[in-house]
């Protein structure tokens, strides 16, 4: 991705190169209440922190509006300069809910503290931009974001939609198609509708 990815009116940048207002325009509804903190904090801590507290944490983590920042925790997609999508991507070890969930670890022997393994924890597409395939360039850009920051491996934990209409709360982990298109391969199938996908970098 480098400084940003382009194609068909789509531009994807590290979150620190996006404004805070643009990110908040994407995080509406349940995503606005979550502020992309449930995966990072884990359920126990997430529930006890109010929405404005979650937002303050996210703002500090993303460094939105500071293009000189050397660290950020995700990427923001624009469609014709309108903020349209968000993808949380960081070292797998920082995601408390991932660490505590049985989904990523079933039938696998993995070091939960291995910071060279990154994860795509959440994908959000803003209402009005859904059903246009935006998750495909978001996942592809997340791979390049992780690669550029030294990731050895990147994982995702997408949902098998099986052609069914799925509420966006449930689909925050992403559908399987964009991961397959980006070269991920299935390494485990821990539940009926969830798979673990992995790409060696």
Per-residue pLDDT of the chain (201 residues; tens, 9 = 90+): 434 444 569 999 999 999 999 999 999 989 999 999 999 998 888 999 999 999 999 999 999 999 999 899 999 999 999 999 999 999 999 999 889 888 888 888 889 999 999 999 999 999 999 889 999 999 999 999 999 999 999 999 998 777 655 555 556 788 899 999 999 999 999 888 789 999 999
H and E: helices and strands count for the chain: 8, 8
Architecture of domain 5-200: 3-Layer(aba) Sandwich (3.40)
Q: pTM here?
A: 0.90
User: Does residue 69 contact residue 59 with C-beta atoms inside 8 Å?
Assistant: no
Instruction: Using DSSP, state whether 29 is helix, strand or coil.
Output: helix
Number of Cβ within 10 Å of residue 136's Cβ equals: 17
Instruction: Using DSSP, state whether 86 is helix, strand or coil.
Output: strand
Instruction: Please report, for the chain, the start and end positions of each structural domain, with discontinuous segments joined by +.
Output: 5-200
Residue 79 β-bridge partners: 10, 82
**Which pLDDT score is estimated for 115?**
94
**Which pLDDT score is estimated for 137?**
96
- The upper half-sphere exposure of residue 47, i.e. CA atoms within 13 Å in the direction of its Cβ, equals 4
Query: Looking up tokens 């009116």, which residue turns up?
Result: 9
User: Does residue 26 contact residue 32 with C-beta atoms inside 8 Å?
Assistant: no
From 171, 147, 148, 168, select the one nearest 158 (Cα to Cα).
Answer: 171
**Which pLDDT score is estimated for 102?**
86
């Amino acid at each position: 991705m480098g400084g940003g990815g382009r194609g068909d009116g789509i531009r994807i940048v590290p979150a620190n190169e996006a404004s805070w207002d643009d990110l908040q325009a994407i995080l509406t509804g349940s995503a606005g209440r979550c502020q992309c903190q449930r995966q990072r904090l884990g359920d126990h801590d997430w529930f006890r922190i109010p929405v404005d507290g979650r937002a303050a944490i996210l703002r500090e983590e993303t460094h939105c509006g500071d293009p000189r920042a050397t660290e950020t925790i995700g990427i923001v997609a624009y469609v014709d300069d309108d903020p349209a999508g968000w993808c949380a991507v960081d070292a797998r070890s920082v995601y408390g809910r991932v660490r505590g969930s049985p989904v990523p670890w079933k039938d696998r022997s993995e070091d939960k503290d291995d910071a060279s393994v990154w994860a795509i924890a959440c994908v959000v597409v803003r209402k009005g931009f859904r059903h246009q395939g935006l998750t495909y360039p978001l996942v592809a850009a997340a791979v390049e974001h992780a690669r550029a920051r030294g990731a050895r491996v990147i994982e995702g934990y997408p949902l098998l939609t099986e052609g069914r209409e799925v509420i966006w709360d449930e689909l925050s982990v992403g559908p399987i198609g964009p991961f397959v298109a980006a070269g991920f391969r299935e390494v485990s199938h821990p539940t009926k509708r969830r798979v673990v996908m992995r790409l060696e970098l």
